[in-house]
Chain A
């Protein structure tokens, strides 16, 4: 450029000052807002990654909720089944004592009453609820899984909980899979309630042969309950593991999100200082240059 005119130099200076001021303001607003990405166009790729991380985080927050719900189901089932196994053990003891010693009808009647109470307790355990929903009733909308007479009211629906990305666990077992399938024709191979009914009848009748065979039938039923307990227990463990892993993943994800969205404060402070310095330098040099003119040196 050959000639520098007053207007040009003024405009230039003003423009440079405005640029310096703008970049100072930008650095400062980054520092004060603490956000690197104030809008998506500040960094489209970063913004998209941040959107993705946010969606994943929200999703895994929900997964944690699902996991805690799953835990609730499994814990309720575990408590119920632990008690059920104990009850079954007690039933076995009672049958043995009825079978061996007590030939007295009154004593057998007492044992039968005991067994009847035990059966009632077992029905209550089979009707255990979580959040007011019977846990052994499948997906049926019923108040109880079993009627007092031992009839199954639920269905064979599975209750699934997605507890982590691509990990979906079944948190229930429908009643028949825990307490046995009903078989009215042959009570001894029916569900646990039918078997208990048969045992009670045998005890009352003093039928020793029936009592002996009932023992193995009860053992079979206990095994089924125990198997269910072990399986659900293993799932509870799995839920714990998965939830812990999700939490670790979340921490990493939060970190990544913060790196994408948040300002590195030290860096931003240095930026502000540097730009402040640039701005001041621009101001002072502008003030000097704009004052100088040939007029200063003319008589």
Chain B
């Protein structure tokens, strides 16, 4: 070993530990950066040749230290687990939110909801029965009927509004997904160029992986490592991003909804690949939650509301058309509800009785003009298992159970996503105490290397300036 070898060793220590300090500094600076994976400087001892030559005897102890590379610490498996956990959690969160909105259109139990209006309507028929000759009760029952009809119309319109705003949300979500996919593809390009140039692509990779995580919340994805440090993003098995190429998605309404929601007259919403129009398989993420809302939750609620309206029209009209109004000749075979309007959107009071309270059939056909048996039978419909009250209660019960259970599942899945993040961050996150420890270790090593340089310098000084002075 040469006389100056130790100086080189000391120098390598100084350089290496300064580099290590840089890495610690980078970690500390990014302690709160989203998507940042902590770095570690991998140190390696340098010196002895790898293949010792014949006769070449070296007594050297090595030439010091070097930074072999900087590792980005993260666990791909845990990251992928987080993608799927976030996808499922986002889907349920959106579904719970949308179901909550659907439920809000039907505030029950309350004094102002549809149930209360239905009950007022039935009670109104008893008032007609108590005084069939008076117009007051008849006008009141027409009014109660109009209130029920307009409530059904309003809730139906609110549900359709809710659906169209969910559709708007889905469209802007898919636009965002497209731009994110394009960004990921671009970052993939930057990463692979950096790798080819032998540069350190870690910061770019972090940015890209953070984007992938955000994308997993929007639309359920899987990832697969690509070439040269790139990542391929898959949606239902097809590539959304492959290397530096991204595919676009689009939202369309290809056909009317099939059974059991065919009666609602709504179109099925679908997410398609823009390139060939094939349906994309969207099973998780916010997009899936919105699709479920659009194709299942809202149409089902509308269908159930239609069932309430249909039961109302069928049961009341069946009794009403068998009765007679105050005029026993002209006021027979009349409908109370317009028989053409059997959905929540179209239910309305029939032209037979609209504005003509005396034509309301309170009496049985052929009975005395002040007979009230039909009115009393209609009042009894409130307890009819085929009547609108039963249909409405079924709807409220089903919706409440679904809303509650979806909200619970959403809470659980949020917790799962949180745990997945914890797991993921426990590997890739920065711990300040750890960094401070590394900081002190590097600082000490730097100091010690400087001290070594001084020691070697002093030794050389002894050799250069103080030797050969014997006898002087």
Contact = CB atoms under 8 A, between A and B. Distances in A.
Contact of A6 (B379, B393, B421, B431): B431
Contacts of A43: 400, 404
B38 to A, nearest CB: 8
B441 interface: no
Contacts of B363: 139
Given A41-B400, A65-B126, A294-B432, A7 B31 contact: yes
Contact of B127 (A65, A141, A295): A65
Interface string B116-152: 1011101100110111011000000000000000000
Given A139-B367, A139-B371, A48 B393 contact: yes
A294 B436 contact: yes
A3 B37 CA distance: 14
A2 B423 CA distance: 9
Contact of B422 (A1, A139, A140, A261): A1
A3 B426 contact: yes
Contacts of B404: 41-44
A40 B400 contact: yes
Given A7-B31, A261-B109, A139 B368 contact: yes
Contact of B370 (A37, A62, A141): A141
Contacts of A55: 115, 118-119, 382, 389
Contacts of A26: none
Contacts of B369: 139-141
Contact of A162 (B367, B368, B376, B426): B376
A43 B407 CA distance: 12
Given A7-B32, A62-B123, A62-B126, A51 B426 contact: no
B429 A5 contact: yes
A298 B426 contact: no
A54 B426 contact: no
Given A40-B109, A66-B130, A15 B418 contact: yes
Contacts of B399: 40-41
B397 interface: yes
A157 B368 contact: yes
A59 B382 contact: yes
B126 A58 contact: no
Given A44-B401, A54-B119, A39 B104 contact: yes
SS of B interface (majority): helix
Contacts of A37: 109
Contacts of B421: 8, 11
A154 B367 CA distance: 12
Contacts of B130: 65-66, 69, 161
A138 interface: yes
A1 B393 CA distance: 48
A298 B440 contact: yes
A61 interface: yes
Nearest to A7: B429
Nearest to B399: A40
A51 B389 CA distance: 10
Nearest to B115: A51
B326 A5 contact: no
Given A59-B119, A131-B131, A50 B103 contact: no
Interface string B172-197: 00000000000000000000000000
Interface in B315-348: 326
Interface of B: 31-32, 99-100, 103-104, 106-109, 115-116, 118-120, 122-123, 126-127, 129-131, 133-134, 326, 363, 367-373, 376, 379-380, 382, 389, 393, 396-397, 399-401, 403-404, 407, 418, 421-423, 425-427, 429-434, 436-437, 440
Given A7-B425, A40-B397, 5 more contacts: A11-B421, A11-B425, A43-B404, A51-B108, A66-B129
Interface of A: 1-8, 11-12, 15, 37, 39-44, 47-48, 50-52, 54-55, 58-59, 61-62, 65-66, 69, 131-133, 138-141, 154-155, 157, 159-162, 168, 261, 293-295, 298
13 contacts: A3-B434, A7-B430, A37-B109, A40-B109, A43-B400, A54-B109, A131-B131, A139-B370, A139-B371, A140-B369, A161-B129, A161-B130, A295-B432
